[in-house]
């Protein structure tokens, strides 16, 4: 029986580098040659699915919110502290600056791009500080997590969003730091730049999603009836 | 493009190689061993319950050594019985039925079967395992805290689970640990699922089109999508539950609840909200457990029937349909919750419609076997056993899917029998089929055939001996979750059935010792396996056993054939490897 089994050498394989880059004619994208790194778009793809998952988390919270709102007479919504409007503006601005950073990166204007990336990180930090300030103002008014269901959801949703945004902030901060540290290297080799661009693109996808998510939560908490 | 190829050599140090490994094969084995530890604990817990049910007044001083506090005096109190119910269910569903088929076999074989050198994100993969393990340890810790393990069941229904110690033993710290454990498990599942999805979509080798994927890969892929979308909803529910418990919020606790002569301060929450969030996750979870078993069964049936799987595309469509419908039927777990009869009808119709893709799968399995020259190897026996148990458990699902029948049966042993067969035992048979089938590839040795067959027959008969009588208990109206039946006259004549079930369970559990012995003995002493002992077609059978660190070495396979080209007319052998040259078949 052993004789009928082809050995490794009989199996057709192609060695590294024999296939021109790009999508193979038929089927898979990854193989053919041993991939030097992940196929293009893998980070982005994984991020899209991760965002679907995060979306489900907030969808779960939303359905609880809607059900709970419809339940009792104890639902006493408070009006948004004015700082939340400023925070929203900051976060929207950060999406714009991040977009600018990416388009500069695509044009290989690295130094300028890194400046805009740094500004984005700073705006994100300011947003989180502003959210904290909103919490502080509310607690000063005597509105706590357990005060009423609306305030419970306010603290829960802002905390959950803030924790996710903090993850994005860490990613942006890391990429900015790495960019400044290795900017010469970046300018030197197109491959590094491409990889860096893909990482920034993936982080941007996450960031824009968090931005949109905040707008959604803001509407859900204060404007939607 | 002249890019340096990333080196992919095996790490040298023991810790990087076997403990904090990023190799999908090592991680797969870690998941499998975790599942083995978990299943052992889960079985022991179930035997404690069975002993209590069969001989309620007996003292068990020896058994009490394991739980000296909870079993003070050597008896199992009704409260401790509920702790056992909770922990048995949670351990089995999360750390066995989700961990072994997806985390274990999926991790080990998905990258190989698509022709990749590893998962897309090896570090995330490693984290996924370690977070799962942390979740498991946190769960076990619940046994050892003051009050012991929670008594609220694996479904943790509010308000019982939401109001703390006042509601009963184990509902203090034990319940908190339960929630933390499940939250960790949710996060780990997300990391794992991202890898499965990205690897399947982006790392397939040349020629491995989606329609050439083995059905195992399709099953793991769909399961990963379900996990990705279902677990976050459980996480959301878990966070709300924890806040109700520790932060004084009222998401799930209604107003004016009086427990132990005390009015609770919560107000306005809805226990039903928890049920909706829980079962929106809980029903897809059933498919997370069973779909990989369906994939393995299809794969193994085709191999040992020496025939292509019947209706490959229909099989893929059915997996998807089951996955999709799984998100629309959660309400059938809540027929007795007082839901509107109109929504109950909708949930009922959707539930019954799952019978269609399930029947497609079953008929295709039977059609694959039709006129086949079946080789009754041990993995084949377990795959056939899977089909048998899937049908038996599925038929009672059609009964329970109808509101008018579910309402009287819901809180009886009929449901216990149903879900154990369809989700527990069927999935376990899928795991056994996978273990016997892939063992030669994972360890380079064969498992003992005679022991394997003995294990199969004892388990197969034992399982039916346990669960068929449970249906009868249920039809007779025996309530589930009760430790004590002494006070109910109508249950007294059913006691001999309990004794019978317990004896069957003890024998079946003892038969698993055969499996564990066979497994560990064969790792070191089994007959050496060839590269392709089953004469199968997929990519894992083209590489050495066990596979080297980077699976395919510096070269990647090129695929020219579908996954189930068995007994192709004109071919030299009765199987064609996926990597065989396109000219392997003379037309």
Judging contacts by C-beta atoms under 8 Å, the chain A residues touching residue B22 are: none
Radius of gyration over every alpha carbon of chain B, rounded to an integer in angstroms: 24
Judging contacts by C-beta atoms under 8 Å, the chain B residues touching residue A31 are: 115-116, 203-208, 556-558
Q: Is residue A117 domain-resident?
A: yes
Q: Is residue A161 domain-resident?
A: yes
Q: Is residue A184 domain-resident?
A: yes
Judging contacts by C-beta atoms under 8 Å, the chain B residues touching residue A24 are: 206-207
Burial B164-201 (b: 16+ CB within 10 A, else e): beebbbbbbbbbbbbbbbbbbbbbbbbbbbbbbbbbbb
How far apart CA B427 and CA B40 sit, in angstroms, is 16
Q: Is residue A31 domain-resident?
A: no
Residue whose C-alpha is closest to residue A52's, from B121, B210, B225, B71: B225
| Under-70 pLDDT residues of chain A | 1-37, 183-188, 225
How far apart CA B470 and CA B418 sit, in angstroms, is 9
Under an 8 A CB cutoff, do A60 and B233 touch? yes
Residue indicated by tokens 């295709």: B364
CB A214 within 8 Å of CB A88: yes
The nearest alpha carbon in chain B to A28 belongs to: B204
Structure token pair of residue A202: 């993936």
Judging contacts by C-beta atoms under 8 Å, the chain A residues touching residue B237 are: 60, 64
DSSP 8-class letter at B445: B
For residue B26, the surrounding DSSP H or E stretch is helix B24-54
Judging contacts by C-beta atoms under 8 Å, the chain A residues touching residue B573 are: 4
The nearest alpha carbon in chain B to A24 belongs to: B206
How far apart CA B57 and CA B495 sit, in angstroms, is 13
Q: Is residue A59 domain-resident?
A: no
Q: What is the pLDDT of residues B132-169, one digit of tens each?
A: 999 999 999 999 999 999 999 999 999 999 999 999 99
pTM of the model as a whole: 0.93
Residue whose C-alpha is closest to residue B88's, from B127, B40, B129: B40
CB B423 within 8 Å of CB B289: yes
Judging contacts by C-beta atoms under 8 Å, the chain B residues touching residue A21 are: 1
Under an 8 A CB cutoff, do B552 and A11 touch? no
CB B544 within 8 Å of CB B528: no
Q: Which of A42, A60, A147 is best to mutate for the B interface (most B CBs within 10 A)? A: A60
Judging contacts by C-beta atoms under 8 Å, the chain B residues touching residue A57 are: 232-233, 235-236
The nearest alpha carbon in chain B to A71 belongs to: B268
- The number of distinct structural domains making up chain A is 1
How far apart CA A221 and CA A153 sit, in angstroms, is 8
Judging contacts by C-beta atoms under 8 Å, the chain B residues touching residue A58 are: 236
Judging contacts by C-beta atoms under 8 Å, the chain A residues touching residue B552 are: 13, 34
Find out whether the peptide bond into A216 is cis, omega within 30 degrees of 0: no
* pLDDT of res. B6: 42
* Domains of chain B: residue spans and CATH: 22-255 (1.20.210.10), 296-525 (1.20.210.10), 535-587 (no CATH)
* pLDDT of res. B14: 84
CATH number at residue A99: 1.20.120.80
Judging contacts by C-beta atoms under 8 Å, the chain A residues touching residue B277 are: 60, 63-64
In sequence order, the β-bridge partners of residue B571 are B585
For residue B258, the surrounding DSSP H or E stretch is strand B258-259
In sequence order, the β-bridge partners of residue B206 are A27
* pLDDT of res. A185: 57
Cβ–Cβ contact B375 with A under 8 A: no
Q: Is residue A197 domain-resident?
A: yes
Pick from B2, B232, B552: CB nearest A56: B232
Q: Which of A15, A23, A28, A213 is best to mutate for the B interface (most B CBs within 10 A)? A: A28
Query: How many Å lie between the alpha carbon of A15 and the closest alpha carbon of chain B?
Result: 5
Structure token pair of residue A57: 């988390």
Cβ–Cβ contact B315 with A under 8 A: no
Q: Long-range CB contacts (< 8 A, 24+ apart) of A106-111? A: A106/A197, A108/A187, A108/A193, A110/A179, A110/A183, A110/A186, A110/A187, A110/A193, A111/A183
Query: How many Å lie between the alpha carbon of B230 and the closest alpha carbon of chain A?
Result: 8
Query: How many Å lie between the alpha carbon of A20 and the closest alpha carbon of chain B?
Result: 8
Query: How many Å lie between the alpha carbon of B413 and the closest alpha carbon of chain A?
Result: 31
Domain membership of residue A100 as a residue range: 83-223
Under an 8 A CB cutoff, do A68 and B273 touch? yes
Under an 8 A CB cutoff, do B251 and A64 touch? yes
Burial B97-121 (b: 16+ CB within 10 A, else e): bbbbbbbbbbbbbbbbbbbbbbbbb
Pick from B235, B237, B558: CB nearest A14: B558
* pLDDT of res. A91: 97
Cβ–Cβ contact B548 with A under 8 A: no
Q: Which of B268, B278, B562 is best to mutate for the A interface (most A CBs within 10 A)? A: B268
Polymer length in residues for chain A:
225
* pLDDT of res. A182: 72
Judging contacts by C-beta atoms under 8 Å, the chain A residues touching residue B553 are: 8
Q: What is the mean pLDDT of each run of 10 residues along chain B (587 residues)?
A: 43 84 96 98 97 93 90 91 97 97 97 95 96 98 94 95 92 97 97 96 95 98 97 97 95 91 89 96 96 98 97 97 96 92 94 96 97 96 98 96 94 97 96 98 97 98 98 96 88 95 98 98 96 96 94 90 94 94 71
Judging contacts by C-beta atoms under 8 Å, the chain B residues touching residue A33 are: 556
**Other C-beta atoms lying within 10 Å of the C-beta of residue B485:** 16
Under an 8 A CB cutoff, do A15 and B555 touch? yes
Residue whose C-alpha is closest to residue B396's, from B281, B475, B477: B475
Under an 8 A CB cutoff, do A145 and B552 touch? no
* Counts of helices then strands in chain B (DSSP H, E): 18, 3
Coil, strand or helix at B346: helix
Indicate the burial class of A190 (C-beta count within 10 angstroms; 0-12, 13-18, 19 or more): exposed
* pLDDT of res. A37: 64
CB B229 within 8 Å of CB B294: no
ipTM value:
0.93
Under an 8 A CB cutoff, do A27 and B8 touch? no
CA B511, B515, B521, B526 torsion: positive or negative? Answer: positive
Pick from B5, B247, B553: CB nearest A145: B247
Under an 8 A CB cutoff, do B276 and A67 touch? yes
- Count of pairs with CB atoms under 8 A, one residue in A, one in B: 214
* pLDDT of res. A6: 41
Q: Is residue A98 domain-resident?
A: yes
Pick from B116, B212, B270: CB nearest A27: B212
Indicate the burial class of A48 (C-beta count within 10 angstroms; 0-12, 13-18, 19 or more): middle
Coil, strand or helix at B570: coil
Cβ–Cβ contact B9 with A under 8 A: no
Judging contacts by C-beta atoms under 8 Å, the chain B residues touching residue A34 are: 5, 8, 117, 552, 554-556
Q: Which of A11, A66, A151, A156 is best to mutate for the B interface (most B CBs within 10 A)? A: A11
Under an 8 A CB cutoff, do A32 and B206 touch? yes
Q: Is residue A40 domain-resident?
A: no
How far apart CA A60 and CA A64 sit, in angstroms, is 6
Cβ–Cβ contact B255 with A under 8 A: yes
């Amino acid at each position: 029986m052993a004789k009928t089994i082809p050995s490794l050498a009989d199996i057709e394989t192609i060695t590294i580098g024999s296939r021109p880059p790009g999508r193979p004619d038929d089927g898979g994208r990854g193989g053919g040659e041993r991939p030097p790194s992940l196929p293009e778009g893998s980070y982005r793809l994984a991020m899209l699915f991760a965002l679907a998952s995060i979306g489900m988390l907030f969808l779960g919270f939303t359905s609880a919110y809607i059900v709970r709102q419809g339940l009792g007479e104890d639902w006493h919504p408070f009006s948004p502290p004015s700082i939340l409007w400023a925070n929203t503006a900051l976060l929207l601005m950060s999406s714009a600056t991040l977009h600018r950073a990416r388009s500069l990166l695509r044009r290989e204007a690295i130094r300028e791009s890194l400046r805009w990336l740094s500004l984005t990180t700073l705006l994100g930090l300011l947003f989180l500080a502003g959210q904290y300030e909103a919490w502080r103002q509310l607690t000063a008014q005597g509105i706590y997590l357990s005060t009423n269901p609306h305030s419970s959801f306010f603290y829960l949703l802002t905390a959950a969003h803030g924790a996710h945004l903090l993850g994005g902030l860490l990613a942006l901060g890391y990429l900015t730091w790495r960019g400044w540290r290795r900017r010469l290297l970046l300018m030197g080799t197109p491959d590094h730049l491409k990889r860096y661009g893909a990482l920034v693109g993936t982080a941007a996808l996450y960031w824009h999603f968090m931005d949109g998510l905040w707008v959604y939560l803001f509407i859900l908490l204060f404007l939607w009836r | 493009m002249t890019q340096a190829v990333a080196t992919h050599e095996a790490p040298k140090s023991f810790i990087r190689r076997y403990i904090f490994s990023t190799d999908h094969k090592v991680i797969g084995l870690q998941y499998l061993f975790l599942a083995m530890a978990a299943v052992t604990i889960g079985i022991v817990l179930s035997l404690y319950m069975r002993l209590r049910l069969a001989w309620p007044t007996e003292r068990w001083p020896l058994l009490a050594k394991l739980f000296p506090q909870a079993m003070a005096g050597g008896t199992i109190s009704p409260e401790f019985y509920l702790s056992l119910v909770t922990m048995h269910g949670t351990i089995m569903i999360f750390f066995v039925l989700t961990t072994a088929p997806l985390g274990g076999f999926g991790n080990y074989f998905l990258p190989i079967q698509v022709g990749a050198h590893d998962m897309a994100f090896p570090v995330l993969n490693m984290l996924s395992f370690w977070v799962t393990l942390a979740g498991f340890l946190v769960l076990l810790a619940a046994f050892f805290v003051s009050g012991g393990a929670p008594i609220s069941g694996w479904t943790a229904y509010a308000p019982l689970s939401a109001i703390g110690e006042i509601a009963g033993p184990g509902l203090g710290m034990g319940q908190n640990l339960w929630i933390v454990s499940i939250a960790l498990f949710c996060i780990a599942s997300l990391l794992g699922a991202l890898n499965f999805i990205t690897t399947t979509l982006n790392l397939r080798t040349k020629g491995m089109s989606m329609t050439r994927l083995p059905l195992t890969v399709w099953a793991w892929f769909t399961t990963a999508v379900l996990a990705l979308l279902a677990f976050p909803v459980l996480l959301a529910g878990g966070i709300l539950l924890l806040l109700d418990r520790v932060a004084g919020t009222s998401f799930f606790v209604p107003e004016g609840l009086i427990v132990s002569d005390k009015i609770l301060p919560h107000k306005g929450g809805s226990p039903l909200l928890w049920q909706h969030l829980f079962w929106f996750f809980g029903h897809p979870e059933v498919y997370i457990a069973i779909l990989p078993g369906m994939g393995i069964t299809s794969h193994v049936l085709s191999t040992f029937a020496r025939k292509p799987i019947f209706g490959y595309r229909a099989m893929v469509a059915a997996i998807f349909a089951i996955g999709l419908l799984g998100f629309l039927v959660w309400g059938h777990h809540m027929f007795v919750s007082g839901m509107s009869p109109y929504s109950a009808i909708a949930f009922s119709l959707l539930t019954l419609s799952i019978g269609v893709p399930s029947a497609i799968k079953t008929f295709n399995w039977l059609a694959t076997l039709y006129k086949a020259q079946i080789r009754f190897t041990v993995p084949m026996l377990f795959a056939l056993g899977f089909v048998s148990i899937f049908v038996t458990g599925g038929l009672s699902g059609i009964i329970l899917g109808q509101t008018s029948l579910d309402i009287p049966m819901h809180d009886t042993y009929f449901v216990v029998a149903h879900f154990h067969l369809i989700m527990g035992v069927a999935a376990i048979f899928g795991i056994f089929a996978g273990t016997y089938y892939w063992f030669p590839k994972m360890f380079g040795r064969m498992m003992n055939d005679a022991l394997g067959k003995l294990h199969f027959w004892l388990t197969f008969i034992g399982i039916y001996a346990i669960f068929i009588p449970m249906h009868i208990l249920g039809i007779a109206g025996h309530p589930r979750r009760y430790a004590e039946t002494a006070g109910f006259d109508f249950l007294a004549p059913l006691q001999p059935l309990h004794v019978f079930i317990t004896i069957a369970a003890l024998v079946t559990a003892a038969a698993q010792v055969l499996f564990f012995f066979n497994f560990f003995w064969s790792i070191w002493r089994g007959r050496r396996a060839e590269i392709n002992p089953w004469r199968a077609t997929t990519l894992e059978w083209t590489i050495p056993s066990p596979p080297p660190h980077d699976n395919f070495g510096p070269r990647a396979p090129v695929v020219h054939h579908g996954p189930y080209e068995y007994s192709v007319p004109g071919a030299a052998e009765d199987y064609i490897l996926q990597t065989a040259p396109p000219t392997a078949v003379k037309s």
